[in-house]
Amino acid sequence: MADALASHVAEARRRAGLTEKELAERLGISLFQMERLEREDADAGPHFDALQQHLGALQPRAANVRRTQDEPPASEPAQHDRSAALGWGGLLVLFSIAALVLVRFFTETLGVLPRILNFVDIPIVLALSVAAGLSGKVAPSTDAFSRSLLPLGAGFLIIATAGILMNSARVELAPALVFVYGVLSPLVVYRSVQILWPVGRSKVASRWLVGLGVIQLAVGYLVSLPRFLSIDDPDVISGTFGTNPYQFVFFMVLFVSLMAGVYSFERGRTAARFAPLMIGASLVLIVLAQYRAFLLTTGFALVMVAIVVSNAPGRTRGVVAASVAVMALMAALAFGADKFPILKLDRTLEQNPTAVLEKRYEVLTSVTELYGENPRYLLTGTGPGTFSSRGWQTFALSDSTSPSNVQGSYAQQFTGGEVYRTDVSDRYVQPLLTSGNRVAFAGSTAASSPYSSYSSVAAEAGILGLLLLIGIYFGALRAVLRRVRNATRSARPNDPLPALLLFAGVGFFALIQMALLENWLEVTRVTFVTWAVFAIAAKEFDARSPEAAT
């Protein structure tokens, strides 16, 4: 029962100079329970004496809490609506996620907004970090990963700075800043969201993500699919991601994971009734989008989802959700291969995976050759933004005629209209970009691409920089999977937390895989969403049982 005492707890706590965590520890309750008390979502009556002891005298009408539920007080506060309960911090987080997912639909598909808004991630980072700073709160560090994140990020920044100084004749400031921003800004998002998100509102976040997924399905089937059927170009199947179908495929894989979690753990939820249909519809779009490099990752992600949801209470629904997802993917692949030859799925399914690995190995050996030329690069790298990172691509490929090259005209303003070049990229990267060196596997050149988050960071920030990056992402995956395991084993009826954790876990799982083929760990539009959802789910989980996160 929401009570009169709860409306005074937050004010009294601030007068006493205590944080929510400190007061929760003194009361012997979790941070989750503490925030519920202050939001008037829980009955503070059982804690009346302890609150009086630690906070001093409360307002006189707080004594009303001693009345029973059979005698509700006349001044019972009205139930807050969801937006009010979220507060401005929670609303900022949700609208930031929506902006990242939807903005390209308005700037590129509809063209009703200027394309410069594609860079909305930059003001989002600033807004989240400033809002977190103004909140006066500190990001919780309840587990080893959260405590290690600041040293890992700071270490990478130090290495990048040293690389700039040691390679000053080669490094240009703008590409270097883009490289550092791509690697470190997701961490800023994570810590900021941890501060801003109000504990106890995980269902609101889940509903928001489901809504964004439904929008993707609507746009995919009502806008993208008709265009595909009329011009036989699978690249137009991109949902709200404009000219970036690979980002659309990434989000849809995460959406499938979320819906599998909703179906398995939230039986009473309306979305759970339609989850199998939405899972099947999503996988059809994933296949038709023809981003074949992601098909294997999609399969691996479904296996991971199957393992997790099989631990659902009763197990039956989890097994059903996993089975539906796997069968839908197989059916979509078979249908696409038979009805749409342009997708070249028949050749994809017959492709020798060892040939792909061999070509990828040839690309990665360029870094070892670089180290052989100058062993100093093992420690300092060639400098941020000088080899094949997103920072380098932004400026070196600024003259590209690709529809997705939104940044080109802006990048050239920093280079005086000239294409950015470095000696190491001319020697090791540019030859791999020429048509004679690109080898297509079933229509995809991803395997022979010179891009990879691992190789670019190893070249530009050295081995230590690469190890720090790996520590960040593999540490995040380990941290979220530990929470997934515990949350699924102790899931309460209709608990949204397992599905949110599954969304984040599959996000890191996919990012780590796709980083072998492209600079995925530097793509803010997909990393921001993954880290933000992880922050929401981790804060919720840790507030419930801090000891379970360690």
- Tens of pLDDT, residue by residue over 172-207, are 999 999 999 999 999 999 999 999 999 888 999 999
Dihedral (CA of 135, 141, 147, 153) sign: negative
| Rounded (10°) angle between helices 295-309 and 245-265 | 10
Over range 436-462, report the average pLDDT: 75
Q: Are 356 and 347 in contact (CB under 8 A)?
A: no
Q: Which two tokens stand for residue 539?
A: 């804060």
Classify residue 80: in a domain, yes or no: no
Question: Based on the domain organization, do 252 and 150 belong to the same domain?
Answer: yes
**pTM for the whole structure:** 0.82
pLDDT band at 65 (very low <50, low <70, confident <90, very high): very low
- The residue segments making up the domain with residue 203 are 88-550
3-class SS at 352?
coil
Q: Are 93 and 193 in contact (CB under 8 A)?
A: yes
Which residue, 182, 169, 171, 180, is CA-closest to 383? 171
Higher pLDDT, 290 or 495: 495
Nearest 5 degrees, angle CA 225-CA 403-CA 383?
125
Query: What SS3 string covers 213-273?
Result: HHHHHHHHHHHHHHHHHHHCCHHHCCCCCCCCHHHHHHHHHHHHHHHHHHHHHCCCCHHHH
Classify residue 492: in a domain, yes or no: yes
Question: Based on the domain organization, do 324 and 205 belong to the same domain?
Answer: yes
Classify residue 159: in a domain, yes or no: yes
pLDDT band at 80 (very low <50, low <70, confident <90, very high): very low
Cα atoms in the Cβ-side hemisphere of radius 13 Å centred on 444: 25
Classify residue 11: in a domain, yes or no: yes
Q: Is 485 exposed, middle or buried (0-12, 13-18, 19+ CB in 10 A)?
A: middle
pLDDT band at 90 (very low <50, low <70, confident <90, very high): very high
Q: Which amino acid is at 510?
A: A
Cα atoms in the Cβ-side hemisphere of radius 13 Å centred on 30: 17
4 has a pLDDT exceeding 60: no
Question: Based on the domain organization, do 28 and 158 belong to the same domain?
Answer: no
- Tens of pLDDT, residue by residue over 126-136, are 999 999 999 87
Question: Based on the domain organization, do 194 and 304 belong to the same domain?
Answer: yes
Classify residue 75: in a domain, yes or no: no
Alpha-carbon distance of 136 to 10, in angstroms, equals: 14
Alpha-carbon distance of 324 to 228, in angstroms, equals: 26
Residues 6 or more apart from 80 whose CB is under 8 A from it? Answer: 39, 40
CATH code of the domain containing 20: 1.10.260.40
Over range 54-60, report the average pLDDT: 52
Q: Are 10 and 38 in contact (CB under 8 A)?
A: yes
Question: Based on the domain organization, do 129 and 40 belong to the same domain?
Answer: no
Question: Based on the domain organization, do 474 and 412 belong to the same domain?
Answer: yes
Alpha-carbon distance of 377 to 388, in angstroms, equals: 15
Which residue, 423, 407, 406, is CA-closest to 415? 407
Classify residue 285: in a domain, yes or no: yes
Q: Is 423 exposed, middle or buried (0-12, 13-18, 19+ CB in 10 A)?
A: exposed
- For the chain, percent of residues with pLDDT exceeding 90: 43
Residues making up the chain, counted from first to last = 550
Residues 6 or more apart from 102 whose CB is under 8 A from it? Answer: 212, 215, 240
Q: How many helices (H) and strands (E) does the chain have?
A: 24, 0
Q: Is 437 exposed, middle or buried (0-12, 13-18, 19+ CB in 10 A)?
A: middle
Question: Based on the domain organization, do 402 and 314 belong to the same domain?
Answer: yes
Alpha-carbon distance of 356 to 367, in angstroms, equals: 18
Question: Based on the domain organization, do 49 and 96 belong to the same domain?
Answer: no
pLDDT band at 58 (very low <50, low <70, confident <90, very high): very low
**CA 215: distance to chain centroid?**
18
pLDDT band at 74 (very low <50, low <70, confident <90, very high): very low
Q: Are 60 and 14 in contact (CB under 8 A)?
A: no
Question: Based on the domain organization, do 37 and 96 belong to the same domain?
Answer: no
Question: Based on the domain organization, do 62 and 103 belong to the same domain?
Answer: no
State the DSSP string of 483-497: HHHHHHHTPPTT-SH
Question: Based on the domain organization, do 393 and 469 belong to the same domain?
Answer: yes
Classify residue 166: in a domain, yes or no: yes
Classify residue 83: in a domain, yes or no: no
DSSP 515: T
Which residue, 445, 449, 515, 467, is CA-closest to 297? 515
Query: What SS3 string covers 94-106?
Result: HHHHHHHHHHHHH
220 has a pLDDT exceeding 90: yes
* Number of domains, the chain: 2
CA distances to 142, 371, 543 from 206, rounded to whole Å, are 23, 46, 18
Question: Based on the domain organization, do 235 and 339 belong to the same domain?
Answer: yes
